[in-house]
């Protein structure tokens, strides 16, 4: 059987007696809240994310989208009073479109969503935080954390599990870089593979100059995905050409919540109904909007 043969499916366990979820009855979202087609991950992208615990997709947003979103972020940071009160949020204005961007939905459908709690009108995952990171030279602190997602305690969202042909990443971070990032000048640092790590980290991890750390460079408008189970760290921004302007969001399974965050109710009420399903209450039993649980 070739590496690209899709004739077999992983066995995803349902809630009762070890039975499998009936994947033939599941209809995952194929368009986002704006009606745009969901973009599925390629086989290489799935392989790289499972291997490393992080994935960069360069240049996802157009130049016009980047300019509009960056301008909104700068107003939010420096002139919040220039925005309506309900829009003074990283889900306000054009930034709302990032919440269920077609690339993000495609990733989440693969690595975070539970199929039995998904349908065409309801996402099988949640967005559970969204924040603006604006950094000038010298801002940002090296502070490595997390790792060992295969062994985290039940209820800890920083998990990673896998079976042949399928992986689930639990709490997953998405970073939208709205300014260029030059490699080695302040982008997020990663110790690839540590989301599966079963050994304690060596002392070298405590040094940001250690070759064990990996990072990236990318143009404005790129999306960076990483599992929070991965050992990672911020680091000081040293790029003198531009500040870092980035939207950091977290996504989680429908029955888990790590952050004490919710979008403003007034803002959420303006969203398309499908996008609103990203913020439904945190529980597992029949937590499906507009459909029937497929078990």
Instruction: With respect to residue 16, please indicate whether it lies within any of the assigned structural domains.
Output: no
CA 59, CA 219: separation in Å to the nearest integer?
A: 6
Q: Are 279 and 127 in contact (CB under 8 A)?
A: yes
pLDDT band at 1 (very low <50, low <70, confident <90, very high): very low
Instruction: With respect to residue 184, please indicate whether it lies within any of the assigned structural domains.
Output: yes
Number of domains observed in the structure of the chain: 1
Q: How far, in whole angstroms, is CA 184 from its chain's centroid?
A: 22
Calculate mean pLDDT across residues 70-87.
96
What does the pLDDT look like over 157-209, one tens digit per residue? 899 999 888 999 989 999 999 999 999 999 999 999 999 999 999 999 999 99
Q: Which is higher by pLDDT, 5 or 93?
A: 93
Query: Looking at the chain, how many residues does it have?
Result: 295
Instruction: With respect to residue 47, please indicate whether it lies within any of the assigned structural domains.
Output: no
Q: Does the pLDDT at position 4 exceed 60?
A: no
Burial of 148 (0-12, 13-18, 19+ CB in 10 A): buried
Instruction: With respect to residue 77, please indicate whether it lies within any of the assigned structural domains.
Output: yes
Q: Is 221 left (phi over 0), alpha (psi -120 to 50) or beta?
A: left
CATH code for position 86: 2.60.120.620
**Other Cβ atoms within 10 Å of 110 Cβ, number:** 18
Instruction: With respect to residue 125, please indicate whether it lies within any of the assigned structural domains.
Output: yes
Instruction: With respect to residue 146, please indicate whether it lies within any of the assigned structural domains.
Output: yes
N-to-C CA span, the chain = 29
Distances (CA, A) of 165 to 5, 50, 90, 170, 256: 11, 10, 35, 17, 24
Instruction: With respect to residue 292, please indicate whether it lies within any of the assigned structural domains.
Output: no
> Which one, of 289, 294, 293, 295, lies nearest residue 123 by Cα?
289
Q: Return the CA Rg of the chain.
A: 19
Give the range of the structural domain holding residue 129, as residue numbers without chain letter: 62-279
What does the pLDDT look like over 13-47, one tens digit per residue? 887 888 888 888 888 999 999 999 999 999 999 99
Burial of 160 (0-12, 13-18, 19+ CB in 10 A): buried
Q: Give residue 13's pLDDT.
A: 82
Greatest C-alpha distance within the chain? 60
Q: Are 193 and 148 in contact (CB under 8 A)?
A: no
What does the pLDDT look like over 247-277, one tens digit per residue? 999 999 999 999 999 999 999 999 999 999 9
Q: Are 54 and 224 in contact (CB under 8 A)?
A: yes
Instruction: With respect to residue 115, please indicate whether it lies within any of the assigned structural domains.
Output: yes
């Amino acid at each position: 059987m070739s590496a690209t043969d899709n004739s077999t499916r992983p066995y995803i366990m349902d809630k009762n007696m070890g039975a499998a979820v009936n994947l033939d009855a599941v209809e995952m979202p194929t368009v986002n809240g704006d009606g745009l087609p969901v973009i599925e991950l390629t086989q290489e992208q799935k392989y790289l994310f499972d291997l490393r615990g992080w994935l960069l997709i360069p240049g996802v947003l157009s130049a016009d989208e980047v300019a509009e979103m960056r301008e909104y972020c700068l107003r939010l940071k420096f002139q919040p009073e220039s925005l309506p009160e309900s829009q003074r949020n990283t889900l306000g204005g054009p930034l709302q479109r990032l919440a269920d961007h077609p690339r993000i939905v495609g990733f989440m459908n693969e690595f975070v969503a539970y199929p039995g709690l998904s349908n065409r009108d309801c996402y099988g995952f949640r967005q559970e935080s969204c924040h603006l990171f604006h950094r000038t030279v010298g801002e940002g602190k090296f502070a490595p954390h997390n790792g060992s997602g295969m062994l985290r305690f039940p209820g800890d969202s920083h998990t990673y599990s896998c079976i042949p042909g399928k992986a689930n990443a639990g709490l997953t971070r998405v970073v939208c870089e709205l300014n260029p990032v030059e490699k080695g000048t302040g982008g997020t640092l990663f110790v690839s593979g540590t989301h599966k790590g079963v050994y304690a980290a060596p002392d070298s991890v405590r040094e940001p100059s250690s070759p064990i750390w990996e990072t990236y460079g990318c143009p404005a408008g790129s999306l960076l995905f990483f599992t929070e189970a991965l050992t990672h760290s911020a680091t000081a921004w040293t790029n003198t050409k531009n500040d870092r302007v980035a939207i950091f969001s977290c996504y989680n399974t429908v029955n888990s919540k790590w952050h004490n965050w919710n979008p403003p109710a007034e803002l959420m009420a303006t969203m398309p109904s499908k996008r609103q399903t990203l913020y439904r209450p945190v529980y597992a039993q029949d937590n499906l909007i507009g459909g029937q649980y497929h078990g």
